[in-house]
Amino acid sequence: MGYWLAWFVSNVLPFLTAAVFFGGVGYRIFQFWRRPRAAVPLTVPPRQRSLVRTLREIVTEIVSFRRVFRGSKPLWIVSWLFHLSILVFVLGHFRLFLHLDWFWNLLRLTLEQVDLLALIGGGTSGTLFMLGLVTLFMRRLRMPVRSLSVPSDYLLLLLLLAIAVSGNYMRFLMHIELEPYQAFFSNLFSLRLGVPVLNPVFLLHFLLVQVFLIYFPFSKLVHVIGGALTLKWTLR
Amino acid sequence: MAINDVDVQTKDVVELLGDKVKGPVETSLDICAHCGICADSCHLYAGTGDVEQIPSARAQQLEKVYKRYYTKLGQIAPRLVGAEDLDEEVLDRLQRIAYQCTLCRRCALYCPFGIDNATMVASIRAFLAEAGRIPPALEEHTNNAYEKGNTLAISDEQFLDRIEWFEEELQDAVDDDEATIPLDKQGARILFVPTPIQIMRFPSVIISAAKIFHAVGEDWTLSTRRFDGTNFALFSGEEAKRNEMAQRLVDEMERLGAKVLLLSECGHSYWAMKYAAEHWLHKPLPFKVMNIVELLAQYISEGRIKLDPSVNPKTITYHDPCNLSRKGGLLDEPRVCLEAAAEDFVELSPCREKAWCCGGGGGVITIPEYDEVRLAAGKPKAEQIRESGAEVVATACDNCKLQLMELAERYGLDVSVVGVVDLVADAMIPDEEKE
């Protein structure tokens, strides 16, 4: 039973997840793209901007979270580090999916150095991510943000927290050899149904990430997709 | 619950709701992540501490009922996503939050995604207007304007009477018996459209403007048909009336053959005609739209009028009307006027596009039931005026003036409220003294 569940999570669900995630995200992009913009111009304040200038401002907003900074400095520190940590650990996971030896050679890093870098980068980002989630969760429990929160807001944070805890558990409290995981993902990406990795913490982590990806296109996480569009409306 | 399960009357209302939300509003509702950063940017929340007044809460109230009928999750699991039935209680709440918001769009500057709350609130108003839920006092203003041509139902005789008096004042002021206030002058360059409240309560705006026009020899006129630049249907949410009111000004411009539609010290009329009218009417306007502050700044920059700032020696600050600054882009122009007309000009903090709304815009000032909320919402403005140490608050909007006067009284501010046009006119150096 445990084996078949592991097999399902590792070899069947990923295809479903990929279909829902990419299909869903594609649909949302299409949907946002197709929807009309407001009937009157929304630029505040009205100002002529070239397309290049507009794009530059959107990139600045996305990279720096300038508007959050304008509104609240403490929240800016939390949310900026939170989103930065996501970027770092998502990139870090590429070590599981790709053979990056050529890249490390290019940077003249030995494997020991890469492991150390991963420990620092992964450890720091994983910790910041977890702390960020706890802070955002606490913030949601307090007024006035509590009044704006619906159950799905809390559930999303809890789901991410479970992902963070299981990931950090593997990072800090388990000794993980990279090879079986690389082999597993390599098999998965070449559509070969292989032997699942029988690490219960990994299976839980992998399952939760898939739940997250399936929920992504239908949740408030679409702010990642559509935020640039509404930002553009206020700029041009 | 699918739309068909609700009773017939609600069904109509639900369909109306769908019409108003589909499109750009839906996008904003999807993207709002309930982060609450907008809370502290809103004068209504800052002033009242009422969580119902948070911009995102307005959006969410709309989202809750919209989801209930128009999304799968809202139909299957309303509790999970917080969907709500559209009942009487919710309609009342929607009315409150939509008509108490001043549409100032300050929150759009603070939202990480730049979501425009005013678009959403305007769509709630449009929906409520069609569902017969405009606050009665606001509806009366709109109906006056729509049926009688101006919000205060001023008759033609009354108008001519007032103009006659303004003309006498002008002649005294400039010491010239030939000075006139032109009426319906064909082919004048500028058609100046004031507001009913200026005709009845703030006549100095019109007299001062006439003095300045006289000094520069401007080719201008007033219209006996259209002396109300305001558009209260924009506030009530009645889109057809709103478009008709804009069209009337366009028609009058055409009749008189004027090149510039000059709007007075009134915020929303400028925004409406400058930025929105061409989209409402689906055609570019064949004339230029200007605000009087913009024109005065032009006169000053071009040296067509010379000002003596020592006439206005008090510490003067400027309140940015949302429709002129944040929404209208007139950030430097009023400052050009005040720097030239006043000896001691100080800024409020924050100012320009980040200025606090005074709390009186969006039509709320006409609705007596909302007086308490409106005055509470003006608290951030009152505090920043107090901190500036100014003795005079200048502004360029009737609505803001009325609100600022009430705020001064409520919060014990020792300030007088004046219009930019008056300050400029007072500081003008007569021709013979110019050298």
Q: What is the pLDDT of residues B389-414, one digit of tens each?
A: 999 999 999 999 999 999 999 999 99
CA of B213 to nearest chain A CA: how many angstroms apart?
28
Range of weakest confidence among A74-88, B19-33, B35-49: B19-33
CB contact under 8 A, A39 and B279: yes
State what percent of residues in chain B have pLDDT above 70. 96
What is the reported pLDDT for A179? 85
pLDDT tens for each residue of B126-164:
989 988 899 999 999 999 999 998 999 999 999 999 999
Q: B416 pairs with which residues across the strands?
A: B392
Which residues of chain B are within 8 Å of residue A148 when distances are taken between CB atoms?
34, 36, 51, 54, 56-57, 60
**Nearest partner of A198 among A16, A10, A14, judged by Cα:** A10
Chain B interface, mutation test: which of A33, A76, A140, A150, most B Cβ atoms within 10 Å?
A150
What is the reported pLDDT for A231? 83
Structural domains in chain B?
3-133 (1.10.1060), 149-298 (3.40.50), 305-433 (3.40.50)
Has residue A227 got a pLDDT over 50? yes
A212-216, B4-8, B148-152 — most confident range: A212-216
pLDDT tens for each residue of B89-120:
888 999 999 999 999 999 999 999 989 999 89
Instruction: Note whether B56 and A148 are within 8 A (CB).
Output: yes
pLDDT average, residue stretch A24-53? 86
Interface pTM, i.e. ipTM: 0.87
**CB contact B350 to A (< 8 Å):** no
What is the reported pLDDT for B432? 58
- The DSSP letter of residue A49 is -
**CB contact A159 to B (< 8 Å):** no
Which residues of chain B are within 8 Å of residue A30 when distances are taken between CB atoms?
none
pLDDT tens for each residue of B162-207:
999 999 999 999 888 889 999 999 999 999 999 999 999 999 999 9
What is the reported pLDDT for B435? 46
State what percent of residues in chain A have pLDDT above 70. 100
**Nearest partner of A72 among A148, A124, A144, A151, judged by Cα:** A144
Has residue B4 got a pLDDT over 60? no
pLDDT average, residue stretch A92-104? 85
What is the reported pLDDT for A1? 55
A52-66, B61-75, B280-294 — most confident range: B280-294
State what percent of residues in chain A have pLDDT above 90. 42
Give the confidence band of B9 by pLDDT, cuts at 50, 70, 90.
low
Instruction: Note whether A47 and A234 are within 8 A (CB).
Output: no
What is the reported pLDDT for B433? 55
List, in order, residues 6 or more apart from B132 with CB less than 8 Å away: none
CB contact under 8 A, B34 and A153: yes
What is the reported pLDDT for B1? 47
List, in order, residues 6 or more apart from A61 with CB less than 8 Å away: A67, A231, B112, B114
pLDDT average, residue stretch B272-282? 94
pLDDT tens for each residue of B10-22:
668 888 888 888 8
Instruction: Note whether B208 and B169 are within 8 A (CB).
Output: no
Give the confidence band of A6 by pLDDT, cuts at 50, 70, 90.
confident
State what percent of residues in chain B have pLDDT above 90. 78
Q: Rg (Cα) of chain A, in Å, rounded?
A: 20
